[in-house]
Amino acid sequence: MPALPRQPAFTTTRSQFPEDFVFGSSTSAYQIEGSSFGGCGSSHWDTFAATPGNVVRSENGAIACDHYHRWQGDLDLVRDAGLKAYRFSTSWARVLPEGRGPVNQEGLDFYDKLVDGMLERGIAPHLTLYHWEMPSALESIGGWRNRDVTDLYADYAQVVTKRLGDRLASIATFNEPWCITWYSHYYGAHAPGLRDIRASSRVAHHVPVAHGKALSAMRAMGLENLGIVLNFEHISPLDDKPGSIKAAKIAEGIYNRWFLGGITKGEYAADVLDLIEPHMPNGWQEDMASISAPIDWMGINYYTRALISEGDTQPGDVLPVQLGNKGALPRTEMDWEVYPEGLGALLEWIRDNYTGELPLAITENGLANKDQLINGTVDDQERIAYLDAHFKQALAAIEKGIPLKAYFVWSLMDNFEWALGYDKRFGLVHVDFDSLKRTPKASYHALKAMLSER
Ligand code: IFM
């Protein structure tokens, strides 16, 4: 496999981007905060991780990066890099330990202080309300399989935004519905670890329903800049066999078109619907107007491409199973091929076919790298090359008139990479998971230099 490209500095410059273009970094609550602190309730990630075999080395987010106690220093790092925006998520179980009912004031106070801390440092707060943590109490009544949970989610969204909403730059209802749905309920790789087409088909509808309900509740509160974050891969057939072409089309429908079509047009991808309609909740059609109520922006998470072949459909499977990358491009530590061109192609396709003039943001992009702390430094030139190549795609998109307004690096710091534990380092900042010491990597310094140039 070819080695990842390395470079010591960015070749793109800040001044090539529009003056008001926003550069930020992203994190999520469970991956950094430490779920054992501050009266946080149990989430389905705590219980999933507690089951041997689900997470490598049985790691979990109980302590994570201890951001719950170290948030001030972490926000200093955001500010000192010259990043003007920070995308974070609130944990439902930290705010409402039972998912409903009494509020954990300490949890809400924590997010309140965090938002003020950003503003004091000149950092715009971008909130995501659900980045994958279902309170265990609600998972035990069926989680996203249970339509009642969509109302409880809208209640939770109101509790959080009543407190924080006056100071937020943007609010996303969900991060990556594809992962919440298919990765977690069909492939079984993430909490709650189900492999059930009926469960996943219901979740594929209930998550958009919950989005629509929260959106309408927050609109009624007068909140603005409301959106959702979807993840995309550049998906194509591995070869020209009819079976590969068919499998790739379905995979692409599930991954890229289902949620995008539902949210922007009130139409689910017809070819996917043909496969899963028998499993969908009755009367799903009546929800489509609320699901597709106008949003103010859309977030796009992009990392890699996928090449799909006929053999990806296992006997008995309803949908193609993605078996990972099969191409010959350099791969990251996630075994994901580096394919920056896919970002440019997707931005154009999304704009042309779905979002038109709707403002777009790249809400996640980055790589897991074999980073090593040697003599107090981490020489992650691979990350600089990766980010630079994707910055070029963002620039080209802007030049084509695509309304791309922001770019958030995933991630500010190394963190809990879900079922893959703490080995997969995505951060601009290295975290030593024994001492929890933070060390900015070469990519952090290079980005800071790039952002300070005008
Ligand atoms: O770490 C995750 C994040 O939580 C969601 N998007 C992809 C990242 C890398 O896998």
Dihedral class, residue 268 (left if φ above 0, else alpha if ψ from -120 to 50, else beta): beta
User: What domain range includes position 418?
Assistant: 14-451
Which atom of ligand 1 sits closest to the CA of residue 366?
9
Considering the domain boundaries, does residue 320 fall inside one? yes
Q: What is the pLDDT of residue 247?
A: 86
CA of 247 relative to ligand 1 center, distance in Å: 25
CATH of the domain at 206: 3.20.20.80
The fraction of the chain above a pLDDT of 90, given in percent, is: 92
- Does 410 sit in the ligand 1 pocket, CB within 6 Å? yes
Model-level pTM? Answer: 0.98
For residues 115 and 161, what is the distance between their CA atoms, to the nearest angstrom? Answer: 12
Rounded-to-integer distance, Cα 63 and Cα 42, Å: 13
- Residue 4 falls inside a structural domain: no
Q: Is the per-residue pLDDT at 319 higher than 70?
A: no
DSSP codes, 266-296: S---HHHHHHHGGGSPTTGGGGHHHHTS--S
pLDDT digits (tens, 9 = 90+) for 389-412: 999 999 999 999 999 999 999 999
Q: What is the pLDDT of the chain when averaged over all its residues?
A: 96
- Which of ligand 1's atoms lies nearest the C-alpha of 415? 1
> Would residue 290 count as lying in a domain?
yes
d(CA 417, CA 347): 26
Please tell me if the CB atom of residue 369 comes closer than 6 angstroms to any atom of ligand 1: no
Residue 388: inside a domain: yes
Compute CA distances 25 → 29, 84, 125, 361, whole Å.
Answer: 14, 9, 11, 12
Average confidence (pLDDT) over 229-239: 95
Residue in this structure with the two tokens 């990842």, named with its chain if needed:
4
Q: Which atom of ligand 1 is nearest to the CA of 411?
A: 1
Q: Count how many domains the chain has.
A: 1
Residue 8 lies in a domain: no
Mean pLDDT computed over 231-238: 95
Tokens describing residue 255: 């991954």
| Average pLDDT of span 254-275 | 96
Please work out whether the CB of residue 28 comes within 6 Å of at least one atom of ligand 1.
yes
Q: Whose CA is nearest to atom 4 of ligand 1?
A: 28
Residue 18 belongs to some domain of the structure: yes
DSSP string, 160-206: HHHHHGGG-SEEEEEE-HHIIIIIHHTS--STT----HHHHHHHHHH
Tokens of 155: 């209640």
**Residue to probe by mutation, ligand 1, list 26, 55, 130, 411, most atoms within 8 Å of CB:** 411
Residues 6+ apart with CB under 8 A from 197: 186, 276, 279, 318, 319
Cβ(33) – ligand 1 distance below 6 Å: no
- pLDDT for position 316: 56
Sign of the CA dihedral 220, 221, 222, 228? negative
Check if 301 has its Cβ closer than 6 Å to any atom of ligand 1: yes
What's the pLDDT score for residue 321?
60
The catalytic residues are 176, 364
Residue 187 — pLDDT band, cuts 50, 70, 90?
confident
